[in-house]
Every structure is written in C-alpha cells, then in structure tokens.
C-alpha cells in the first residue's frame, strides 16, 4: 500500500517550511508548536521564532520572560518553558542519545526528531498515523511518515473519512465505515485554562500585584514555572 500513498503525497503533500530542513532545533520547535495547535497558526509563528532565535544557543541565552512573551497566543504556555529548558540543556551538553531526557520531549517527539533530523529508520506515530494504520491494518515504513500525516489530516479523518478521495481505499478493509464522534476537548471559553491564559497575559504586559490578579490562576502558573511571586508582586521569570 506504500507506493499509492507516496504517489498521492507527491501530488497533494503540504509544503510546510519545517519539511525543508534537517536542523533538529528547527524541527523540535515545529513539533512543540504543533502540539494541539493548527498548522496554519503555527507557520508564521515558527518562522518568527526562528528569525529571533535561529539556534539553540540563541534561545538558551534568552530570558524565560521573553520566551513566554513570544509564545503568547499559541496556548499551553508550559511548552515554551520546556522548549527554553531544552535549549539550555542542549547548548550545555549537546543532543542526548535518549531524547526523552529533554524537558517536555516524549516518545513521539523523540521519534519525530530521530526520523526528520537524523534520518533514523523510525516511524513517528501520532494520532493521525495510528488511525491510518489501524484502519488499513497495514504497518507502514518510515518513508511514508509525511504522507501519512497528511492523509490522516485531510482524508482519513476521525469520524467520517473521505474514502472516495483516498489512495488506499482500493485495499482498505475499513472503506466506507463511519465512526462515533470523538470526545471533544472541554470548552476554552469560561474555563480555568482561559483564566490562566488571561492572567499570564496581564503579567506579560508588566509586573502586577496579587490583588490585581486571579489568585488561583497565579498559583497554577507559579507551579508550572511561568511566573515568579515575590511577596505581593507577580512577574515573569527573570
């Protein structure tokens, strides 16, 4: 089933900027940004980030406060802190053999780095690739990784797959099936996540007193290393 999907990808694959590099740092930034964030939103932010901090040493030398400010609007701000800590670790020690030793790098991100930066023979299996493999009952080789990402995002989607447009439909045992709706992520509007984000945004503008802020949100941000609390003053990490 691999030749048909590769032929489809050659005609339909997305031209994403991080697919044109083997730089592990640039690839890591893309992978971290893409966690629970749409590709269209990530592209300009990834380009801006790399223009500002083109390598791990540049990012490592920056203050956590500036990294958090630059991350504003991407959500899940702890990702920014983990990325900064990773840059500091790599700048000091180099890339470890076990990439999961890096802050915030799990098994999938480690596999993606190995495959796309160093060309290791490993398939990074995310939700999209796992879905395609489960439905087709085929274990794809690493050379199909980018094609599988796009197929899972555009064609073999979660609830109602677009089998009529799928290059694998001719041999897919799941062709024509429909699936139960996935459990939706809790609403952001009115949630504690929104309160945290709003509080961090205020602190990113300038140092604030605790009386100005949502105290419960401040406590959560402090636990995640996103703010410092000095008596009554709350500010971004120095």
Contacts 24+ apart (CB under 8 A), 228-231: none
What CA–CA distance (Å, rounded) separates 148 from 157? 11
Rg, C-alpha atoms of the chain: 20
Are 44 and 52 in contact by the 8 Å Cβ rule? The answer is no
Please indicate whether residue 31 is annotated as part of the active site: yes
Question: Up-side HSE of residue 97: CA atoms within 13 Å toward CB?
Answer: 0
SS (H, E, C) 149-197: HHHHHHCCCCCCCCHHHCCCHHHCCCCCCCCCCCCCCCCCCCCHHHHHH
What CA–CA distance (Å, rounded) separates 87 from 2? 36
Please pick, among 2, 31, 134, 189, the residue that the annotation labels catalytic.
Answer: 31
Order across the sheet with 233-235: list the strands.
208-209, 233-235, 228-230
* Residues designated catalytic: 31
């Amino acid at each position: 089933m691999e030749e048909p999907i590769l032929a489809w990808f050659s005609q339909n694959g997305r031209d994403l900027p991080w697919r044109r590099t083997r730089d592990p740092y640039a690839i890591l930034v893309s992978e971290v940004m893409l966690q629970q964030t749409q590709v269209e939103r990530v592209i300009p932010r990834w380009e801006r980030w790399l223009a500002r901090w083109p390598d791990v040493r540049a990012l490592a030398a920056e203050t956590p406060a500036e990294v958090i400010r630059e991350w504003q609007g991407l959500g899940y701000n702890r990702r920014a802190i983990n990325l900064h800590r990773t840059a500091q670790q790599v700048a000091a020690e180099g890339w470890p053999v076990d990439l999961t030793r890096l802050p915030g790098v799990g098994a999938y991100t480690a596999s993606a780095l190995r495959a796309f930066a160093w060309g290791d023979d490993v398939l990074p299996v995310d939700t999209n690739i796992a879905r395609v493999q489960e439905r087709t009952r085929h274990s794809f080789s690493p050379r199909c990784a980018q094609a599988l990402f796009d197929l899972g995002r555009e064609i073999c989607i979660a609830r109602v797959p677009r089998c009529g447009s799928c290059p694998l439909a001719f041999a897919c045992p799941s062709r024509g099936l429909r699936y139960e709706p996935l459990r939706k992520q809790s609403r952001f509007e009115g949630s504690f996540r929104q309160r945290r984000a709003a509080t961090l945004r205020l602190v990113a503008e300038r140092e604030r007193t605790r009386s100005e802020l949502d105290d419960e949100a401040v406590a959560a941000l402090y636990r995640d290393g996103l703010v410092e609390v000095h008596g009554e003053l709350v500010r971004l990490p120095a």
